[in-house]
Homo-oligomer: A and B are copies of this chain.
Amino acid sequence: MGVEDVKAAFEGLSIPWECVEHNPIEKVEEGLELDSIKSLGCSFAKNLFIKDKKAGFFLLVVTADRKLDMKKLPGLLGKGTKEFRFADEAALKEKLGCGKGAASPLGVMTDAAGEVTVVLDEELMGAAKIGCHPCQNDHTLALTPDQLKAFLAKYSHEPMLKAPAKIEEEAKVVGKKEGADSKGLEYTKAGNFPNWYQQVIHKSEMIEFYDISGCYILRPWSFSLWEAITEFFDGRIKKMGVKNCYFPMFVSEAKLNAEKDHVEGFAPEVAWVTRSGDGELEQPIAIRPTSETIMYPAYACWIRSHRDLPLLLNQWCSVVRWEFKHPTPFLRTREFLWQEGHTAHGSYEEADKMVMDILGHYKAIYEELLAVPVIKGYKTEKEKFAGGFRTTTVEAYVPATGRAIQGATSHNLGKNFGKMFKIEYEDKQGQKQIPWQTSWGFTTRSIGVMVMVHSDDTGLVLPPRVAPIQVVIVPIVMSGMNLDTLSGAASDLASQLRASGVRVELDDRDNYNPGWKYNYWELKGVPLRLELGPKDLEKRQVRVVRRDTNAKLDVPWSVLPQQIALLLVQMQHEMLERATALRDAALKTVVEWKDFVPTLQLGHMALTPFCNDEEATHFEELVKEKSKAEALAASGAEAEDARTSTSVAAKTLCIPFEQPPLPEGTKCFISGKLATCWVLWGRSY
């Protein structure tokens, strides 16, 4: 039995076919992590194929999070069952026609003899759709409870339905938090960071999963943050004279290959279009991973005289890098949104000022909008942009994982691309010159960094300046009270705040109680909650609750707009302060190798003296290898976290602009040669 048989059966029953393909999975937990399965939007079933000494075979089809005690099953399944154990693979094959890990109620196609009793969890049968394997664990399909019942009926199996309460009572469900609301987070930031992150961004409605790996849907709740960033940065660069434009997303192979170092940096990740409609293209065409090779041939046409300089262009678009590491929403995605600026100048100084000004704006986005502190610096030769002359960067830090992360970079490209693309102009003296160029990009990754830095076990925490909703008003309705008075006052307050420029939402939905609403808005990270109950009405005040600290404050209506404005500014400021304090506490100076890996093991970054000479790349490689080996030896950790693709190896983050004094004679911590600067290292995303 396999996917084709199930498909044929579905066709016979007119059940629509909604199926995704994926790598074979063995455990239900793996399935829960797969974007393709998530995209089905179904409750993924856990299937236990068991047998007892007397009654024979049972297939338990339950919600994925149930953990059952085998010993208690007779109490649940009754009818003289006893001593349950898992049926072996041979039995699975024989009775349900499935291989290991692929048990599913659809296997009843094989069980013409009716030897297997199917037991269905009523909670699962209340789901909109149920996900299960079509007798192969490399496919998952979705069907409604009614369709499943129809399928079972067709193959003459009447399922046994079990209520969740009954299952809990009889079979001792473990592992589910008491009273946990399935809408809230099920993981803690400290306990399981990757799962916590996935849940925060999904349950807060920032992200929806998609059936193509590495692609995600940016829902309005996250896209509005991108709009805030766009507006801020676009305004700043326009003041500098940068103009927006749009270049094609496609690039020919010849142009992509024009700059050797550059193409080497990007080639493995390039997506190629080779077909249109039913026909093959004459030449494969690449989708831009970045636009240097798309833009600069045009620059060669436009730049002829010194009067054509500076040329300052920017575009907002998406780019595609077909990465094979484990994708992470916002941080590592196959398509992402960004701006890319590309400028050409008549002098090195002007180009350098451009990359520094832009880096300043990038820092401002992180610190002033997202409340995430960053460190400015130069990238080393090894880490700089492929094909460029020098890369400047802002580096952020995620305290919860002890990982650094590149925030954004600006590149002084030198004259290298100009040479390759024959960009030449006549200077004032009539001499042929190649311009100095820069490029710089800021991506949606920044949103992920913000989530990782600020959010907590309750959900998102949004910095007020970028929060789509800054204040939510929740009226607290008590039985027997005059509804009109309360809602009238609530909407008056909302109007006042709106008039003073605050983004405010009045949550007057009548189908949810205040507690539910608190949870909902906390999960979504709204900075301030205003509670308005009968007592508040009497005292003409509201209770204000801060999302980040949970601090509560009663504020008279008469001063509400002023107080709210103040609180929003305060919260914004304190979020940055707290994150800065945590980041600073993780910044350690290390002067000897022996202290290096232990520092990293504590989740810290290390600032070391370094010989930044022509052998620097070699020593960076050495640090990478040695740090990895020592870390593995010390902790028995795995070399790579498969879920985030972060390695235990250290790499350079930057050569910080702000250099501490370097006493004469200080040695490089790895080469032993004379150090020339301080370099910042860390484990990194």
Interface residues of A (CB under 8 A from B): 16, 18, 21, 39, 41, 128, 208, 210-212, 215-220, 223-224, 226-227, 243-252, 255, 267-278, 282-285, 287, 297-298, 300-302, 304, 307, 313, 317-318, 320, 322, 334-335, 337, 422, 424, 509, 511
**Contact present for B335 and A301 (CB under 8 Å):** no
Q: Is the CB of A217 within 8 A of B298?
A: yes
How far does the alpha carbon of A422 sit from the alpha carbon of B268 in the complex, in Å? 38
Q: Name the one of B226, B274, B307 contacting A274, with C-beta atoms under 8 angstroms.
A: B274
Please measure, in the bound complex, the distance between the C-alpha atom of A338 and the C-alpha atom of B186, giving whole angstroms: 40
Task: Please tell me if the beta carbons of A220 and B273 are within 8 angstroms of each other in the complex.
Answer: no
Residue in chain B with minimal CB distance to A512? B307
Partner among B39, B274, B282, B297 whose Cβ is within 8 Å of the Cβ of A39: B297
Q: Is the interface of A mostly helix, strand, loop or mixed?
A: mixed
Pairwise interchain contact B272-A274, C-beta atoms closer than 8 A: yes
Cβ-defined contact, B269 with A276, below 8 A: yes
Given contacts A212-B248, A220-B244, contact A322 B271 (CB under 8 A): no
On whether the beta carbons of A275 and B275 are closer than 8 Å, the reply is no
* Extra pairs beyond A216-B248, A224-B244, A271-B276 (11, CB < 8 Å): A128-B304, A210-B248, A212-B250, A217-B248, A219-B245, A249-B335, A250-B335, A270-B276, A272-B275, A273-B274, A277-B322
The 5 closest A-B pairs by CB, nearest first: A41-B301, A276-B322, A220-B243, A215-B248, A272-B275
Q: Which residues of B contact A255 (CB under 8 A)?
A: 211
Contacts of A251 in B (CB 8 A): 212
Which residues of chain B are within 8 angstroms of A252 by Cβ–Cβ distance? 211-212
Docked-complex contact A217 and B246, CB < 8 angstroms: yes
Q: Report the separation of the CA atoms of residues A277 and B251 in the bound assembly, to the nearest whole angstrom.
A: 14
A-B contact pairs, 7 of them (CB 8 A): A212-B248, A212-B251, A215-B250, A220-B243, A223-B243, A250-B334, A268-B278
Which residue of B248, B268, B282 is within 8 Å of A277 (Cβ)? B268
A399 to B304, CA, bound (A): 38
A249 to B335 CA separation, bound complex (whole angstroms): 8
| A217 touches which of B16, B244, B245 (Cβ 8 Å) | B245
A224 proximity list for chain B (CB < 8 A): 243-244
Question: Are B271 and A244 closer than 8 Å at their CB atoms?
Answer: no
Per assembly, the copies of the chain total 2
Return chain B residues, CB-CB under 8 Å to A422.
16, 18
Q: Are B298 and A208 in contact (CB under 8 A)?
A: yes
Q: Most chain-B CB neighbours within 10 Å: which of A212, A251, A298, A322?
A: A212
Alpha-carbon distance between A304 and B126 when the two chains are bound, in angstroms: 13
Identity of the chain B residue whose Cβ is nearest the Cβ of A129 in the assembled complex: B422
**Interface contact A208-B301, CB-CB below 8 Å:** yes
A244, B267: Cβ atoms closer than 8 Å: no
- The answer on a CB contact under 8 Å between B274 and A270 is no
Q: How far is the CA of A350 from the CA of B424 in the complex (A)?
A: 58
B residues near A301, Cβ cutoff 8 Å:
41, 208
A287: chain B residues at CB < 8 Å are 273, 287
Given contacts A244-B224, A247-B217, A335-B249, contact A297 B41 (CB under 8 A): yes
Closest chain B CB from A664 CB (angstroms): 48
Give chain B nearest CB distance to A271 CB in angstroms: 5
Q: Whole-angstrom distance between the alpha carbons of A217 and B248 in the complex?
A: 6
In the complex, chain B residues whose CB is within 8 Å of the CB of A335: 248-250
Assess the B298–A249 pair: CB atoms within 8 A: no
B245 pairs with A223, CB closer than 8 A? yes
For A304, what are the chain B residues with a Cβ–Cβ distance below 8 Å?
A: 128
Cβ 8 A contact of A275, one of B216, B250, B271: B271
Q: Taking the nearest CB of chain B, how far is it from the CB of A300, in angstroms? A: 6
A217 to B243, CA, bound (A): 14
- Contact partners of A128 in chain B: CB under 8 A: 304, 424
With a cutoff of 8 Å between Cβ atoms, the chain B residues found around residue A21 in the complex are 282-283
Shortest beta-carbon distance from A234 to chain B in Å: 9
Q: How far is the CA of A284 from the CA of B278 in the complex (A)?
A: 12
Q: Which of B244, B271, B302, B511 contacts A227 (CB 8 A)?
A: B244
Residue of chain B at shortest CB distance from A251:
B212
Residue of B nearest to A273 (CB): B271
Report if A246-B269 is in contact (Cβ < 8 Å); known contacts: A212-B252, A322-B277.
Answer: no
Complex-state Cα separation, A218 to B217, whole angstroms: 27
Q: For residue A318, which residues in chain B have a CB less than 8 angstroms away from its CB?
A: 246, 249, 317
Q: Whole-angstrom distance between the alpha carbons of A662 and B220 in the complex? A: 47
Bound Cα distance A275, B313 (Å): 31
Q: Are B268 and A272 in contact (CB under 8 A)?
A: no
Say how far A375's CB is from chain B's closest CB, in angstroms.
29
Q: Which residue of B lies closest to A420 (CB)?
A: B16
**CA of A596 to CA of B216 in the docked complex: distance in angstroms?**
52
Give the complex CA separation of A272 and B271 in angstroms. Answer: 10
Whether A274 lies near B277 (C-beta < 8 A) is no
Distance in angstroms between the alpha carbons of A671 and B596 in the assembled complex: 88
Complex alpha-carbon distance, A334 and B334, angstroms: 22
Minimum distance in angstroms from A311 CB to a CB of chain B: 10
